[in-house]
Amino acid sequence: MGKLITSSLGLSAVGIASFFFGRSTPAPVETAQNENKTTFGGVGKPAGGELITPSPVQPDGFYKYGFPGPVHDLAKHAEFVTCYDRAKRNPYWVLEHITKDSIKRSDGVDRKKSIFKEDETVPVKFRARLRDFFRSGYDRGHNAPAADAKFTQQAMDETFLLTNMSPQVGDGFNRDYWAHFEDFARRLTTKYDGVRIMTGPLYLPKLCEDGKYRVQYEVIGLPPNVAVPTHFFKLIVGERNGDANIAVGAFVLPNVPIDNTQPLTAFQVPVEALERSAGLELLHKVPYYNKKDLCKETKCEVLVEDRVESKSVAQNWFDQFD
């Protein structure tokens, strides 16, 4: 597995191909003053103040037909915030904040009451559909896990929106190692006053037989439009009240069965490598001297024995949805 991680991530030798996405910018407001500035043949000044050659064309005139995007559907829920990728029908990322009190189960809150739902705030043509996952061979894998949202039934129900889901391998990953990894993050609330978690999918290059790197991933659905991530990441930040220092751990796991004996530290990566591969700015407002290595402050490990459900019971529960 260690060899698999090194070759699939490509962190050491060649670097990960960056997957960048920009923030949507609104179309310019049409005003008389604005029209004077963009009139055909007009003269403009750049930031430096020097005159530039007048342009004979107006490419931004396309905005009169409507701004094309990209549009990132940002939604705040009780337990998490999600930013949705309309092209891949996956989240870009999901943000959580958990504490030892927030993960306690409130009376009446039960996962069996929750059902998977399409997110109706996303236009239908860009929406992941329930039917897309049917007989796909993949689980509807939570980015923000339901077990983190036990303080109200509504909070738990919201974690079942498809904007919080990504196709995940079931046996050996979503129902096993990934679930133990989520449990590790929850256990950190006994050491830190607050734990902030960013989770999301990645589509990383793979070394092919011809010696070239390519990004290849499956697409599911009818029509095929939901991307199956090659990897998933978690950025975990431990906070203590009144302490400017934070404990930081970045992890990237392949979307494949992982043996439970694999050490979690085998999947730890530099935050900078995660930034390059995801195209995200991460923790850039925090001085480097305030960032401490999470796995040097605490033992980063998954505990399989904490799973009290038998494999057959868990399997039956998931099978009713897939």
Region 183-212: mean pLDDT is 97
CB atoms within 10 A of CB 270: 10
The pLDDT score that the predictor gives to residue 27 is 45
**pLDDT tens per residue, range 239-259:** 999 999 999 999 999 999 999
Contact between residue 233 and residue 200 where contact means Cβ atoms under 8 Å apart: yes
pTM score, whole prediction: 0.80
Is 80 exceeded by the pLDDT of residue 302? Answer: yes
Q: Which two tokens stand for residue 3?
A: 């060899």
Is 90 exceeded by the pLDDT of residue 227? Answer: yes
The pLDDT score that the predictor gives to residue 86 is 97
* Cα–Cα distance for residue pair 322/318, rounded to 1 Å: 7
Task: Please state, rounded to an integer, the average pLDDT across all residues of the chain.
Answer: 85
DSSP string across 234-295: EEEEEE-TT-S-EEEEEEEEESS---TTS-GGGGEE-HHHHHHHHT---STTS-GGGEEEHH
> Tokens 């590790």 sit at which residue?
184
**pLDDT tens per residue, range 9-65:** 443 333 333 333 333 434 444 444 444 443 334 445 566 667 778 899 999 999 999
Interacting residues of 185 by C-beta distance below 8 A, sequence separation 6+: 98, 195, 197, 234, 236
**pLDDT tens per residue, range 94-128:** 999 999 999 999 999 999 999 999 999 999 999 99
Looking at 77, 142, 180, 231, which residue is catalytic? 142
Is 60 exceeded by the pLDDT of residue 69? Answer: yes
Nearest to 162 by CA among 94, 90, 225: 90
* Cα–Cα distance for residue pair 81/97, rounded to 1 Å: 10
Nearest to 140 by CA among 226, 78, 204: 226
Interacting residues of 118 by C-beta distance below 8 A, sequence separation 6+: 127, 128, 129, 130, 161, 162
**What are the E-state strand segments in the chain?**
73-76, 80-85, 90-98, 139-142, 165-168, 194-202, 205-207, 213-215, 219-220, 226-227, 231-239, 246-254, 268-269, 291-293
Burial 194-211 (b: 16+ CB within 10 A, else e): bbbbbbbbbbbbeeeeee
Is 60 exceeded by the pLDDT of residue 306? Answer: no
Is 60 exceeded by the pLDDT of residue 214? Answer: yes
Could you give the 3-state DSSP secondary structure of residue 76?
A: strand
The pLDDT score that the predictor gives to residue 31 is 43
CB atoms within 10 A of CB 164: 27
Region 193-202: mean pLDDT is 98
Nearest to 144 by CA among 217, 194, 77: 77
Any catalytic annotation for residue 142? yes
Specify the CATH architecture of the domain 2-8+72-319: 3-Layer(aba) Sandwich (3.40)
Lowest mean pLDDT among 211-215, 303-307, 317-321: 317-321
